[in-house]
Amino acid sequence: MIPAAALDATPIGDPAADPAAEVRALGLAAQIAARLVRPIGHFAPGACPLPPLEPDALTALAAHPAFGVPVQRAASRALAPEAAGIDAGLIRRLREAAATRLVALLVVQPLPVLHEAARLLAGAILHRRILALVLKADRERLQAALGPAAFRVATQEAALLHAGLAEAAEPAAQAACLAAGSPDATRGAVVALGLGTLGRFAAAAEPALGRLVALRLGAEPGILTGPPPLGPGACEHVVRLLRRRMDAWSPIIA
């Protein structure tokens, strides 16, 4: 969980601080702490190893009234090294930096919401390839995989607002999304492309939380050991896109 020293060293109610920024920062810090105290069921299976127990057994024990509290406590201790960078400096950046607040959201938000963000990002990344599709069946398959909002980003917005994101993912990962296959396979490839890029964004924008994002998304170690972290320009586009398109996130990121 967030070390007490980090909170003790952080001025709370600083008259020079923007009250809204103070509330956002401390609220996100509290949410991260809550997830770290009870990590089983929030982070990906295997994120908090307690040998010789397998992840399925840990999940079952965490749901048991008699074992839930001690098992979650032990898992929290196992996850402690990953939280080593959560300190007063991070909380200051949560006040000041939109990118850091977005990374914090990637740590704490439910997985279906992260999939929504991943599809939006994948739509922006794939926009050139989608606009170049000739066959109506191919466009309809990608529209079904992305969903209406992300397909709109791909076909109507990304070329003007986020053209640089077309280079944000490896060509092979992009090609996998357009390869003919079952609807489920296409949706899976699209979400994987978006989640992997979110993980690379987190590694670049806020390394103190990047590892937690990798464990959250369940792509460990691939998210952080595959392609390099995103460059500053791509990170700015990710923040801009999700601030504008994820309505519930906008007031937190802004």
pLDDT at 1: 45
User: For residue 150, how many other CB atoms are within 10 A of its CB?
Assistant: 26
Res 4 pLDDT > 60: no
Name the least confident of 8-12, 131-135, 224-228: 8-12
Confidence of residue 254 (pLDDT cuts 50, 70, 90): confident
Task: Decide if pLDDT at 135 tops 80.
Answer: yes
Per the CB < 8 A criterion, the answer to whether 176 and 189 are in contact is yes
Q: Residue 23 has what pLDDT?
A: 87
Residue 91, pLDDT > 80, answer yes
pLDDT digits (tens, 9 = 90+) for 141-173: 999 999 999 999 999 999 999 999 999 988 888
As a whole number, mean pLDDT of residues 197-212 equals 92
Q: Which has the closest alpha carbon to 57: 45, 74, 65?
A: 45
Peptide bond into 227 cis (omega under 30): no
Decide if pLDDT at 101 tops 80. yes
Residue 155 per-residue DSSP state: I
pLDDT higher than 50, residue 188? yes
CA distance readout (Å), 6 to 2, 76, 221: 7, 18, 28
pLDDT reported for residue 17 = 62
Domain range summary for the chain, segments of one domain joined by +: 1-96, 110-254
Model pLDDT for residues 46-56, shown as the tens digit of each residue = 888 888 989 88
